[in-house]
């Protein structure tokens, strides 16, 4: 049996939606695609991925028996959910995609006066297993790991697949294989810890920008290069006449005398039509020393209900659309079972 890594099983449907969306666009078809949700918890990740990969064969595994029972109840017969043992992970593979999200970490604790995360030996063993279970040309998605993937020997057989659409969801403390503390995560706003930053610790100079921005890693052996996914505009939908424009800016609040940190600066210019919002987004990563280490620009079309919610947010109005959805979910949860 694999050791339990994560003690917090909290999750929700739609978590890491942007990362899954970009991942889906790397595959021209999902026919014959095999996906493993490693650490599937109560099944919400499987439900989310199924919406984007409806034809794929999906597996989920977890250490906790109570979570597995909940996952099987949630996903029904459209996924094979099993207990996390090395033998079972290998026997159901190899996989085209392995999702390892918020699994390769432990709550930061103090040991002998030093902050610690996941044990490097445990981390290395799990990454070994994931590497052995992934097909050549397959993609490993890692979000929130105490140790950067590039520090594992297997990483030399992978290439990072980067998209400027992804704002790097990693918000945890990070360490190296010698247990040196690299940085401390500072969560952002919202359930997904949007727009995090990291405070530099004693060994921050050993970090690289890719440790924060990269979540997709492709194993060598792929037949063709993957496309750069750099926009979210809907194909064949012409821009409609504008009726409003605006800008919004994101800057983290830096307290005087705070330690060096890395963070993102985001500037959005938008144009609204009667039914859509067209967005241009510029994102810069500021490094611990104050330099700019990456600078991306992307475009998107936000349609329908999402467009209305966006406009309500940027004009300071509570979203009626989001509120209605929230109320409906609350009513459903409070309804007695029949």
The confidence score (pLDDT) of residue 335 equals 57
Q: Number of folded domains in the chain?
A: 2
11 inside domain: no
Average pLDDT over every residue of 295-310: 88
Asked whether residue 191 carries a pLDDT value surpassing 80, the answer given is: no
6 inside domain: no
Average pLDDT over every residue of 324-333: 62
Same domain, 38 and 79: yes
- Write down the mean pLDDT value for the chain: 86
Same domain, 101 and 21: yes
Same domain, 219 and 90: yes
Cα separation, 70 vs 117, in Å, equals 28
Check which CATH number belongs to the domain holding 217 and give it: 3.40.50.150
Same domain, 114 and 188: yes
The confidence score (pLDDT) of residue 192 equals 53
Same domain, 213 and 265: no
| Residue 184 tokens, joined | 């401390």
pLDDT tens, position by position, 254-288: 877 778 999 999 999 999 998 899 999 999 999 99
Q: Is 139 helix (H, G, I), strand (E, B) or coil?
A: strand
Domain that holds residue 292: 232-334
Lowest pLDDT segment from 16-25, 183-192, 295-304? 183-192
pLDDT band at 66 (very low <50, low <70, confident <90, very high): confident
Single residue among 171, 197, 229 that ends a domain in this structure: 229
pLDDT tens, position by position, 240-255: 889 999 999 998 888 7
Element (H, E) at 262: strand 261-272
166 inside domain: yes
The confidence score (pLDDT) of residue 275 equals 87
Asked whether residue 322 carries a pLDDT value surpassing 70, the answer given is: no
Cα dihedral: 292, 192, 202, 265 (round 10): 20
Asked whether residue 217 carries a pLDDT value surpassing 90, the answer given is: yes
Same domain, 126 and 33: yes
Higher per-residue confidence, 43 vs 251: 251
Higher per-residue confidence, 108 vs 168: 108
The confidence score (pLDDT) of residue 152 equals 98
The confidence score (pLDDT) of residue 161 equals 94
Average pLDDT over every residue of 130-140: 97
Asked whether residue 168 carries a pLDDT value surpassing 60, the answer given is: yes
**Position of tokens 């209305």?**
308
Q: Is 87 helix (H, G, I), strand (E, B) or coil?
A: helix
pLDDT band at 135 (very low <50, low <70, confident <90, very high): very high
Single residue among 229, 262, 278 that ends a domain in this structure: 229
Beta bridge partners, 187, equal: none
The confidence score (pLDDT) of residue 284 equals 94
200 inside domain: yes
DSSP strand pairing (134-143 vs 197-200): unpaired
Same domain, 156 and 246: no
Average pLDDT over every residue of 84-109: 92
10 inside domain: no
Same domain, 38 and 150: yes
pLDDT band at 337 (very low <50, low <70, confident <90, very high): very low
pLDDT band at 201 (very low <50, low <70, confident <90, very high): very high
Nearest to 203 by CA among 168, 240, 174, 172: 174
Residue 296 to residues 7, 9, 26, 31: CA-CA distances in angstroms?
A: 36, 34, 20, 32
Cα separation, 203 vs 177, in Å, equals 12
Cα separation, 298 vs 281, in Å, equals 5
Same domain, 297 and 180: no
Please give the backbone phi and psi of residue 246, each rounded to the nearest 5 degrees, phi first: -175, 175
Tell me 222's DSSP state: -
Average pLDDT over every residue of 169-174: 84
Asked whether residue 119 carries a pLDDT value surpassing 60, the answer given is: yes
Single residue among 229, 264, 296 that ends a domain in this structure: 229
118 inside domain: yes
Number of alpha helices (DSSP H) and beta strands (DSSP E) in the chain: 8, 17
Same domain, 279 and 314: yes
pLDDT band at 114 (very low <50, low <70, confident <90, very high): confident
pLDDT band at 332 (very low <50, low <70, confident <90, very high): low
Cα separation, 18 vs 23, in Å, equals 9
Summarize the chain as % helix, strand, coil (round to 5): 25, 30, 45
Average pLDDT over every residue of 201-229: 92
Lowest pLDDT segment from 55-64, 207-216, 321-330? 321-330
Asked whether residue 89 carries a pLDDT value surpassing 90, the answer given is: yes
Write down the H helix ranges in the chain: 17-25, 44-52, 65-75, 86-92, 120-133, 210-213, 304-314, 320-334
């Amino acid at each position: 049996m694999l050791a339990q890594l994560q003690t917090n099983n909290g999750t929700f449907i739609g978590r890491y939606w942007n990362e899954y969306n970009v991942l889906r666009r790397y595959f021209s078809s999902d026919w014959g695609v095999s996906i493993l949700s490693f650490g599937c918890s109560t099944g919400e990740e499987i439900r989310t991925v199924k919406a984007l990969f409806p034809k794929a064969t999906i597996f989920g595994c977890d250490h906790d028996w109570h979570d597995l029972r909940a996952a099987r109840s949630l996903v029904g017969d459209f996924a094979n959910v099993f207990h996390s043992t090395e033998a079972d992970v290998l026997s159901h593979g190899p996989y085209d995609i392995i999702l390892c999200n918020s699994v390769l970490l432990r709550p930061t604790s103090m040991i002998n006066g030093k902050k610690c995360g996941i044990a490097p030996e445990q981390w290395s063993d799990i990454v070994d297993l994931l590497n052995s279970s992934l097909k050549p040309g397959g993609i490993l998605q890692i979000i929130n790991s105490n140790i950067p993937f590039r520090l594992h020997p297997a990483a030399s057989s992978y290439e990072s697949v980067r998209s400027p659409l992804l704002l790097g969801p990693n918000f945890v403390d990070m360490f190296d294989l010698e247990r040196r503390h690299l940085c401390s995560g500072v969560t952002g706003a919202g359930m997904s810890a949007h727009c995090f930053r990291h405070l530099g610790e004693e060994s921050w100079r050993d970090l690289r920008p890719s440790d924060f921005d990269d979540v997709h890693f492709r194993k060598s052996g792929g037949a063709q290069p993957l496309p750069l996914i750099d926009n979210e505009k809907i194909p064949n939908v012409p821009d409609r006449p504008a009726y409003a424009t605006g800008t919004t800016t994101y800057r983290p609040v830096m307290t005087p005398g705070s330690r060096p940190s890395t963070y993102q600066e985001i500037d959005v210019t938008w144009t609204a039509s009667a039914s859509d919002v067209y967005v241009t987004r510029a994102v810069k990563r500021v490094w611990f020393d104050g330099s700019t280490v990456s600078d991306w620009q992307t475009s998107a079309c936000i349609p329908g209900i999402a467009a209305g919610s966006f406009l309500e947010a940027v004009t300071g109005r509570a979203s009626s659309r989001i509120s209605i959805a929230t109320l409906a979910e609350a009513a459903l949860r409070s309804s007695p079972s029949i």
